[in-house]
Structure 1
Amino acid sequence: MKKLFIAEKPSVAKQFAEALGVATGGGNRGYLENQDYIFTWCVGHLISMSYPEKYDEELKKWKMESLPFIPKEYLYEVIPSVKEQFSVVSALLQRKDLETIYICTDSGREGEYIYRLVASQCPEITAEEKRVWIDSQTKEEILRGIREAKAKTAYDRLGTAAYLRAKEDYLMGINFSRVLTLRFGRELARALGKEKSTVIAVGRVMSCVLAMIVQREMEIRAFQKTSFWKVIGDFSLDGESVALSCEFRGKEEGKYYRESDLYKNMGFLQEEKAKAFQELFKPYPREGIITSLEKKKEVKNPPLLFNLAELQNECAKILKISPDDTLKLVQELYEKKLCTYPRTDARVLSTAVSKEIEKNIHGLSAFPQYLSFAKDILERKSYSGIAKTKYCDDKKITDHYAIIPTGQGRAQYNSLGTLQKKVFDFIVRRFLSIFYPSAEYKKYNLSITVLGEEFLASEKRLEKPGYLQLYEKSIEKEEKEGDSENEEDEENRVSGLSGLSGLKKGSKVYLMNTALKEGETSPPKRYTSGTMILAMENAGKLIEDESLREQIKGSGIGTSATRAGILTKLEKNEYICLDKKNQQLSPSLLGEKIVRILWNSIPSLLNPTLTASWEKGLSYVEEGKIEEKEYMDKLEDFVRKNTEKVKLS
């Protein structure tokens, strides 16, 4: 009796064969076989859901009276372009000389769906089906996955959620796209100067994301610039020649101005009033007193590890590549055994992995650019207590832990392209950083009062680089700028404040001169492909602060596996435009008009919180908190009500 291993791609099937010591030559027939094992693959999806015309030829025509279309039993069919490979796979699955079938498709919802669709078309499977669940494609991990494989039934809830997700996208896509096109397609075409009716493509996640991009564009267009004038004071320390620049900060009730004269208490809204305020301090010099001087230590901890969304944002920001390109690059790293499974939402390690993490670090010693860091970590044994830190938390892991380097794949590294090496470098340095201490800063805050008015200065200096030594350029940036903020919120950061040893509360200083510095408010920033991925992960909230992002995890729009594809689809449909130089997203005229139509017909599709709730519902199905019937009942009711609403509009 033989064992059959079925993977998602030929390359993965060959990895399993190599791990089991089987020669991988040949395979041109769509599988590999020896006396003990058979290895085959799915080349992605082999089966798809059938279009309405497969149920009834009449449904090929788009008609109002045939909507909503909600089948009682769903039909599936082999995708024509991969029919040959399906024949190979289905024949192998139904062989009578099989003892066990090992399911080796990607360890996630979509991988589960790919196999179950194929198996559903094979009525004569008699072998035991076992699920292999792995986090990387190293030999050790593959063998562990095979050894610890569970019965397929252990993942039935995951499979159910996968089917439900597909049915949800199908029902909303088929019904809403057809009913909206029939109702508004001609009107939309006329507005765009086209003769034929315009098809309105709608999706649960896609439409919501489009609305977010359109909404941001409306905010930018509605923005009105505000100019303001800051008053900068140049001070001398107690008669010494040391110069110190401080920035005026207004109060709610000033003696010489009203709060309404100021912009956020940091500058005057009218240049004339700013100049009049300057005149109050003449003649110079004018005596002042240091009313407060605060010196405190600040620490900056190494960030959490990368999940896919964070890595996609990093690559969009620094490498200017799209989330879809990032996913392809990191998937290739995974298949070359260089990193762990990429389609993950977790940013932490599991307890089990943390106990063996020394192997990963030791493996990185084989890479010359990481040797000194890996050696330092191993000598200090700073990995030994990682399980007790925030970087390890089993409760924050669903399917897979964070993306980390395996420590293997040194031979394959040289074959990587430039971008692949850069993405790998991001992953490695983020990983190694958690074994280094925090960066430490000394922050100085100074307040000087002159004629009852307050001038402020602050400075932040890096004292101990800690984990930042992994990022030499970051250290240079930190030393020059500290944590730079937006101009309109920025405190006056001065160079040399920390070097003025004579500064203390109550010291006399002298205002030697004042100057005006013009500033202006900035419009909201367009989403980039990276920040949009973060916003999707956090239910429509663009939260740049890492700690805040972690607090609202679990309410995302789409999944780590699908978000990049949504942006690609919107661009392909010409609903949005992607500026590849800076990865900024903006809506097309067509995209804007579609959002307007949806706002007046099915506005719930544009609500990020509601859209995220559907994804949450699928998670509840996986966790056994709700049953399949309850989810389907709500889904069908939602589709039915909104389709009828558009028909009657």
Structure 2
Amino acid sequence: MTKTLIIAEKPSVAADIAKAIGGFTKHDEYFESDDYVLSSAVGHLVEIAVPEEYDVKRGKWSFAHLPMIPPHFDLNPIAKTESRLKVLNRLIKRKDVDMLINACDAGREGELIFRLIAQYAKAKQPIKRLWLQSMTQGAIREAFKQLRGDEEMMPLADAARCRSEADWLIGINGTRAMTAFNSKEGGFYLTTVGRVQTPTLSIVVEREEKIKQFVSRDYWEVRAEFVCAAGIYEGRWQDPQFKRDETDPEKRAERLWSRAAAESIVAACRSKTGSVTEESKPTTSAAPALFDLTSLQREANARFGFSAKNTLGLAQALYERHKVLTYPRTDSRHLPEDYLGSVKETLAVLSENNNYQPFSSQILNKNWVKPNKRIFDNSKISDHFAIIPTTQAPKNLSEPEQKLYDMVTRRFMAIFFPPAEYQVTTRMTEVSGHRFKTEGKVMTNAGWTAVYGREALSTNEEGQTSGMLVPVAAGEKVRTEDVNANGLVTKPPPRYTEATLLSAMEGAGKLIDDEDLRDAMAGKGLGTPATRAATIEGLLSEKYLLREGRELMPTAKAFQLMTLLRGLGVSELTAPELTGEWEYKLAQMERGRISRDEFMREIAQMTQIIVKRAKEYNNDTIPGDYATLVTPCPNCGSVVKENYRRFACTKCEFSIGKTPGSRQFEVAEVEELLSNRTIGPLQGFRSKMGKPFAAILRIARDEDLNNFKLEFDFGQNNGDSEDGEPVDFTGQTVLGPCPKCGSGVYELGLAYVCERSVLRPKGCDFRSGRIILQQEILPEQMVKLLNEGKTDLMPGFVSQRTRRPFKAFLVRGKDGKVSFEFEERKVKPGGAAKAAAKAGKAGADDEADADAAAPARKASAAKTAAKKPAAKKAAAKKTAAKKTTASKTAAGKTAAPRKAVAKKAA
């Protein structure tokens, strides 16, 4: 009797299939019934092998064996999962197995996992495909009734293989070529590149370059308050002659570019009367489309701060383990046209949940589930449809899982509701020939927004209708009560978050918010919804990007790679649009419109170009916009020039690396360093563990080499060493009285110190850092702290624990120690307790990072220690002694030596 072997992607899916079909007996690593043998992979089990003749057993990579374009791709087992591969290999070779069913995830990667296993095992049996959109038992049984033929799946299999082989060719050849190039002068400087990874990085680097090059411009806005019989309203001055200037996108109708112009408007309008005209018209807002994976990741990042990787993991668990969501790795935001009945079944299940019952019942009762191309459209679906809830009720979800499930479920219900309706009023107030614009938007019908808890004509804390303008009678003259010119500055473009980077990847480098435009770019993005999270995580793990709160920041390593690729002219790896075209062709291949051979020929050509340009490049430096410094060489007085790797003297051996501590020098900083022999404190340096730190940089003479060298000075030992030179504060300005002894406080290195702290013997121990949690404490703020007891509210502190910025005051304690104080938070009536608890938790988190709550914690620790045995009390006392206040933390008290020679950058 013959049997069919079913291969799932994961053991949990195999168990679900066994339960749904029934009749299986469990063995160690597989299930078996009268008709089936059922087992699973554990993700990828094999990988493309480097051909033996190209593998470097010893020594560094070179151009000798590049490019590597083998005539066929051999496979090697992945070591950690080889035992599972042996199980599947044995089952495939069973004499009673005469057919295979691919039950791996329904997508490109699932297809690849199965095909490579079958290739490695040299399987000769015919193949069928189980295509699962949902993991409920009913959906599994239904999918078994509609198994797909192997011929139907070949285009997807070809695209899967092409994606894998293209990434291997570009990754292996590009990485080895760039590493060989960067290692020419010795050492081994690993420089990884990738077909999707590197163009994605270029998007972030280009944005950071725009931020660095951005020059803020002052501008003014004039705002006025107008009094009418019914009350007061505000207006903003507008230029009626304004026309959009494509060459200067910072220009706006409300912006004035000189203070004098703004003040003249203020003078002309002050205390004058004005006439009013207004236009009011209704408008509607439709519910957002259903989620695909990318939009789900964007929304979850924006709302909850979830990374793209975490969101994918949660969605996969909700699909696979809990079976409450449909297949998440989808690029579609529509449902099949025959899915109306399934939607109604899902809504009926949601009606049993108190959180969703009012909305799901309303949809069913009012028969709002109808054919609608915005929701049900077969032409907008390739293999998978939008992410929606299933007919399985959720149980035992974790908090993050519940948040994601709720987000998907409310989006699902909202799309069947009618549009939200608003009344939009635009009021123009003319005073002395100047026009002021006022807008009001009032919701008249909540429509789909009711699903999110919004009500029509919602009221604010004062009981006034949100967005409602006070009425002005026809012909009524209003009086200008208050008018001011507000000075502002233009801001650079924001850094990418994971949410905005996912959008840029989806549009091949162009941020696309417009739904129709996004549809037009569909398939031409970088990577696929299923791979974009892994691409971002790869850039983070390779230290090309850093997470700072929710922002993604390129490192010096990223800038150096982009300079190299641009200098070599390898646009294939730096142009997101070009790589987006490759991804588009893969999508076309899935639909059978492009051949595998045609695509791989283009990838081979791309590989040849990348290697050729790196291999044949013989110049001393990489082309770039390099600077010639004004300040002469400190060693011989000759000219210092920038090159790809260093700032080097044109005559002698003096040079300094461009990226000490993974922080890239700006030209102006190098000028200052060479001129003064010191600079700082500078922020943005990174330790080998990736931790940020601040330091002073000095150029010191190396007597052994008769040259100069670059040193870090962390400043923690200034004045502390018994054999150090005495510190002389002559000529320096005293900032204020020491809070501990009343003597003068001065600036010294990375700290503000009491003048008696540098005496021998030490007369005082007051010291406060010039950098506290990445916030520079300027001298004027230290003056306020010492003389008034408190600084201004400063917004630039960054939590060491959460990496998120926070605002705080620095305050002087009675004991002379410096600590944090947080601003009071405005609390809505009735919500004081809840808000206070929340604020307290947030404050405690920040204080824990900065040790600002040290006295409170020490008191608590003392009470606890008193109840414990003497040995534990001693240990607790020893631990408490290590804790410091904000001032000591910021002053850089570490075990590191005072100075360390900066290592040369690659």
- The normalised TM-score by structure 2 is 0.64
Please give the per-residue CA displacement for 1:213-240, whole angstroms capped at 9, x wherever unaligned: 1111111112222232222222233xx2
Change (3 A) 1:11 1:450: same
- What is the deviation of 1:98? 2.8
Letter in 2 for 1:404: I
- The 2-side partners of 1:475 and 1:562 are apart by 39
Please give the per-residue CA displacement for 1:439-484, whole angstroms capped at 9, x wherever unaligned: 1111000112222221111111112111111112x66998769xxx
Letter in 2 for 1:95: R
Q: Tell me the residue number matched to 1:531.
A: 500
Instruction: Map 1:288-307; keep pairs closer than 5 Å.
Output: 288-290=274-276, 292-307=277-292
Letter in 1 for 2:430: T
Pair 1:273 & 2:243 matched: no
Change (3 A) 1:86 1:263: closer
- The 1-side partners of 2:15 and 2:50 are apart by 34
- What is the deviation of 1:150? 1.5
Instruction: Map 1:15-54; keep pairs closer than 5 Å.
Output: 15-22=16-23, 26-27=26-27, 29-53=28-52
CA contact (8 A) 2:60 2:188 kept: no
- What is the deviation of 1:84? 1.4
Change (3 A) 1:186 1:530: farther
- The 2-side partners of 1:340 and 1:54 are apart by 46
Alignment counterpart, residue 193 of structure 2, candidates 198, 202, 208: 202
Q: Tell me the residue number matched to 2:882.
A: none
Q: Tell me the residue number matched to 1:234.
A: 225
How many residues matched? 607
Instruction: Map 1:562-641; keep pairs closer than 5 Å.
Output: 562-579=531-548, 582-601=549-568, 602-641=570-609
- What is the deviation of 1:526? 0.7
Instruction: Map 1:318-467; keep pairs closer than 5 Å.
Output: 318-335=303-320, 336-383=322-369, 385=370, 387-408=371-392, 410=393, 413-467=394-448
- The 2-side partners of 1:497 and 1:172 are apart by 55
| Structure 2 residues without counterparts, runs of 5 or longer | 618-906
Change (3 A) 1:317 1:497: closer
Pair 1:113 & 2:117 matched: no
Alignment counterpart, residue 215 of structure 1, candidates 186, 190, 206: 206
Change (3 A) 1:186 1:528: farther
Q: Tell me the residue number matched to 2:452.
A: 471
Alignment counterpart, residue 648 of structure 1, candidates 605, 608, 616: 616
Letter in 2 for 1:458: E
Larger radius of gyration: 2
Pair 1:518 & 2:487 matched: yes
- What is the deviation of 1:11? 0.3
Q: Tell me the residue number matched to 1:508.
A: 477
- The 1-side partners of 2:195 and 2:426 are apart by 49
3-state SS of paired residue (1:174): helix
- What is the deviation of 1:603? 2.6
- What is the deviation of 1:186? 5.1
Change (3 A) 1:53 1:458: same
Change (3 A) 1:418 1:293: same
Change (3 A) 1:101 1:497: closer
3-state SS of paired residue (2:530): coil
Letter in 2 for 1:248: W
CA contact (8 A) 1:157 1:624 kept: yes
* % identity of equivalent residues: 31
- The 1-side partners of 2:53 and 2:417 are apart by 60
Letter in 1 for 2:143: G
Letter in 2 for 1:424: Y
- The 1-side partners of 2:520 and 2:421 are apart by 24
Letter in 2 for 1:583: R
| Greater Cα shift, 264-273 or 387-396 | 264-273
CA contact (8 A) 2:242 2:252 kept: no
Q: Tell me the residue number matched to 2:678.
A: none
Please give the per-residue CA displacement for 1:479-508, whole angstroms capped at 9, x wherever unaligned: 769xxxxxxxxxxxx98884544444x543
Q: Tell me the residue number matched to 2:636.
A: none
- The 1-side partners of 2:547 and 2:456 are apart by 32
- The 1-side partners of 2:138 and 2:373 are apart by 26
Letter in 2 for 1:597: L
- The 1-side partners of 2:470 and 2:547 are apart by 49
CA contact (8 A) 1:50 1:75 kept: yes
Q: Tell me the residue number matched to 2:6.
A: 5
Change (3 A) 1:374 1:299: same
CA contact (8 A) 1:59 1:66 kept: no
CA contact (8 A) 1:53 1:59 kept: no
Change (3 A) 1:253 1:605: closer
3-state SS of paired residue (1:369): coil
- What is the deviation of 1:362? 1.1
Instruction: Map 1:61-72; keep pairs closer than 5 Å.
Output: 62-72=61-71
Alignment counterpart, residue 295 of structure 2, candidates 292, 304, 310: 310
- The 1-side partners of 2:325 and 2:457 are apart by 29
Instruction: Map 1:8-157; keep pairs closer than 5 Å.
Output: 8-22=9-23, 26-27=26-27, 29-53=28-52, 62-126=61-125, 128-157=126-155
- What is the deviation of 1:343? 0.4
Q: Tell me the residue number matched to 2:787.
A: none
Please give the per-residue CA displacement for 1:268-294, whole angstroms capped at 9, x wherever unaligned: 333343222222235x3x33222x311
Q: Tell me the residue number matched to 1:488.
A: none
- RMSD across aligned positions (CA): 2.5
Pair 1:176 & 2:174 matched: yes
Pair 1:248 & 2:248 matched: no
More helix by share: 1
- What is the deviation of 1:13? 0.6
3-state SS of paired residue (2:495): coil
Q: Tell me the residue number matched to 2:509.
A: 540
Change (3 A) 1:281 1:366: closer
Change (3 A) 1:272 1:351: same
- What is the deviation of 1:76? 0.8
Change (3 A) 1:401 1:107: same
